[in-house]
Each structure stands twice: as C-alpha cells, then as structure tokens.
C-alpha cells in the first residue's frame, strides 16, 4: 500500500474540493473531466480546465477558502503524490441549485506503479456556513435558502436519523472502478462528510485509508449489516482530527481515531489568521489545515481532548443510543430492556448496601 504522510492526506482531501472544469453545463463539465481521466492525467496537471479559466477559490465551509493554485503547487512540489493519476470521477454537484441529485463528488487515482487505487470523497459544499457568515446580506437580499438548496446539507441532517443518500452512489462508483482495475490495493480518503463516505467504503469493502475530521456513520450502516463493524475495525482506516474539532464526534465511530495537536494560527488564502473563536472548537477547527504538522509532515498526538468535543460527544452518544433503540427489532428491544433492568437492579442493590453501612 502506498505510504502517505499526514501532509499528503491533507493535501489530497483539499484537492477533492477542486472541480475539474469551470464549465457549469453538466455535459460540458463531464466531457472535459472525462478527457482528463482518459488521459490518466497526473493530479498536478488536472487544473487545465479549472484554474486557467479563473475559478481559483471555493469555500467548502466557514471563512477560509481553499486556494487551489496553492493546492496544485503543493502537489507539484511533492513527487510522492504528484505521480498519482486521475482515472475516474463522479460529480453530482455540478448543476447549481439542483435538488434531484445525491451531492456525491468522488475521484479515483492510480499510483505510479499501478498497484494502488485511491478514492477521494469531497466533503460538504459551503451552503450552511456561507449562510452563517453572510446572514445579514442574505436576509436583505431575501436569499436565506442557500443551505436548503444544497443536497449535501439536507443529507447531513438526515444522516442522524437514517442513512446517507451518498453511500449507494459512492459504492457504485467504487465498484465500477474496482471492476476496471481489479486486484489493486484500495484506500479511501476524505474530509468531513467526505471522511464519512470514505469510512463507509472501509466498513463495506475493508478499504484502508484515512479521514480528516471525518463524521461518523449512521446507525443504519451497522443495523443493515452487523459485520461492517468488524470490517471497519480490521481495515486499518484511521480518522485524524484536530483536538478541538467537533464534527468528528458525530454519529457512530468504530474506526481507529487520532486526536492531533491543533495549528491554532493557520492562515486563510489572504494570509489572515484564524480567530480565537475558531480555535476554541467551532467551524475553523474543522479545516484540514487546522491540524499541526511537524517537519516530517506528521501530526502529533494532542495532550488531551478539549471541552467542546467532550460535550458534543456526550450529546451525540445519547442521541445515537435513542435512535439505535428505536430502530431495533422487537426481540432486540426486549434484550435491551433486560440489560437496563439488570443494571437498575444492581444499582439499587449497591445503594441499599451503602444505606446499611
């Protein structure tokens, strides 16, 4: 399996936010993207139809926007990942404002020797946090439904109570690539919701790889197929997150996890430093660049977990337990009742013993 540093992984998940074309026409976009894939273009050269037409930045979330010329420059300076070649893509967010899609954006890359296939899954687009940033202007303009037009965000909220619409098309994409490139080592990577999609592929197919601030998986994932828990644990998939990140506390987690020191003063594309509010564990702690890296390009273990992730974790676990119970078959609910009743009986017994002391 190709060995990647944390810096490599962070660069790749940022790359996943870059479109392959500036075309907003669905057919035109896919034609240019297909040309890049058919040519097995190295990822450092896949800006041919994007940056050359002036579309250089995007806000995946919050205030900071990715500077794609810098992302491409970082890739070109890194021979380790610049040799990766684009072999397939899927983009269902190319049509602005459409509500009939699934929002899945994924790329497949082939290693130089052809032994590895890497899947990259894009995280949520910027609807929700763009709305939060620009709320006053949007209210004046009457454009307060920005987040609701994003399939990403509608699906994000639904994931807590069911499954994700992203999982089926992501699986179809992975299976199509595996059928065309069989017998390889397959890994998956992504940031935020993209990390959740990558984690799902690990749970379903046993892929290795890594998430960056990856959200967990819905209860349905494991109720549908209980063996996914063991497969995910054995896969080697690891979820890396900055110590103050809260998104990586959401939903169900059985993967290996790494809490890493946070780079509390990483700059945005204008060189402006992030606010202390962001460093305290809110939106800006969720950026890939919020993970501090040493000279070897690796993150270092955080000294401890911050208060905000702990609070979110407790609330999330209570919600997941409630949802899990509601979705259990009747016989499993009876078993759960028996466990709770036994725990209550033991607790009462302990209290009674203490009362007699």
pLDDT tens, position by position, 141-160: 544 444 444 566 667 777 87
Residue 144 and residue 49 in one domain? yes
Q: 203 and 338: one domain?
A: no
Taking only the tens place, the pLDDT of each residue in 172-225 is 999 999 999 999 999 999 999 999 999 999 999 999 999 999 999 998 898 888
Same domain membership, residue 231 and residue 207: yes
The DSSP output letter for 49 is T
> Are residue 298 and residue 313 in the same domain, yes or no?
no
Residue 190 CB partners (closer than 8 Å, separation 6+)? 13, 16, 120, 121, 122, 123, 196, 197, 198, 211, 212, 214
Query: In terms of domains, do 350 and 281 share one?
Result: no
Looking at the fold, whether 251 and 320 belong to one and the same domain comes out as no
- Whether residue 1 lies inside any domain: the answer is no
Do 52 and 182 belong together in one domain? yes
Instruction: Give the residue numbers spanning the domain of 269.
Output: 6-303
pLDDT grade for 304, boundaries at 50, 70 and 90? confident
Q: Which helix (H) or strand (E) holds 312?
A: helix 307-327
Q: What is the pLDDT of residues 65-112, one digit of tens each?
A: 567 888 899 999 998 899 999 999 998 765 544 455 677 899 999 999
In which band, very low, low, confident or very high, does the pLDDT at 136 lie, cut at 50, 70 and 90?
very low
Asked whether residue 260 falls in the same domain as residue 343, the answer is no
| pLDDT bracket for residue 39 (50, 70, 90) | very high
Cβ–Cβ under 8 Å, residues 313 and 321:
no
**Residue that is last in its domain, among 265, 284, 303:** 303
- Does one domain contain both 128 and 251? yes
Phi and psi torsions of 287, nearest 5°? -80, 145
**Contact call for residues 291 and 299 (beta carbons, < 8 A):** yes
């Amino acid at each position: 399996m190709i060995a990647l540093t944390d810096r490599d992984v962070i660069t790749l998940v940022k790359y996943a936010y870059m479109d392959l074309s500036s075309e907003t026409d669905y057919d035109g976009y896919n034609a240019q993207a297909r040309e890049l894939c058919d040519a097995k273009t190295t990822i450092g050269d896949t800006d041919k139809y994007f940056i050359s037409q002036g579309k250089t930045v995007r806000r995946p979330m919050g205030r900071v926007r990715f500077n794609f010329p810098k992302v491409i420059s970082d890739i070109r300076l890194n021979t380790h990942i610049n040799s990766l070649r684009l072999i397939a893509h899927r983009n269902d967010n190319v049509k602005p404002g459409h509500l009939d899609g699934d929002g899945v954006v994924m790329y497949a890359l082939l290693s130089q020797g052809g032994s590895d296939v890497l899947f990259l899954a894009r995280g949520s687009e910027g609807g929700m946090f763009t709305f939060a940033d620009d709320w006053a202007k949007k209210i004046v303009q009457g454009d307060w439904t920005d987040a609701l037009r994003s399939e990403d965000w509608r699906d994000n909220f639904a994931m807590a109570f069911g499954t994700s619409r992203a999982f089926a098309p992501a699986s179809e994409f992975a299976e199509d690539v595996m059928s065309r490139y069989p017998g390889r080592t397959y890994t998956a990577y992504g940031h935020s919701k993209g990390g959740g999609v990558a984690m799902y592929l690990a749970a379903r197919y046993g892929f290795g790889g890594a998430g960056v601030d990856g959200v967990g998986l819905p209860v349905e994932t494991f109720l549908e197929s209980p063996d996914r828990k063991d497969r995910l644990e054995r896969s080697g998939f690891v979820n890396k997150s900055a110590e103050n990140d809260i998104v990586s506390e959401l939903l169900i987690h059985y993967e290996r996890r790494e809490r890493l020191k946070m780079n509390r003063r990483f700059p945005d594309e204008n060189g402006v430093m992030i606010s202390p509010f962001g460093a305290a564990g809110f939106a800006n702690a969720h950026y890939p660049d919020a993970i501090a890296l040493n000279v070897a390009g690796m993150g270092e273990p955080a000294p401890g977990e911050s208060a905000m992730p702990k609070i979110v974790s407790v609330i999330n676990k209570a919600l997941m337990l409630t949802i899990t119970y509601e979705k259990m078959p009747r016989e499993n609910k009876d078993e759960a009742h028996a466990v709770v009743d036994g725990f209550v009986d033991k607790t009462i017994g302990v209290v009674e013993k203490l009362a007699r002391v």
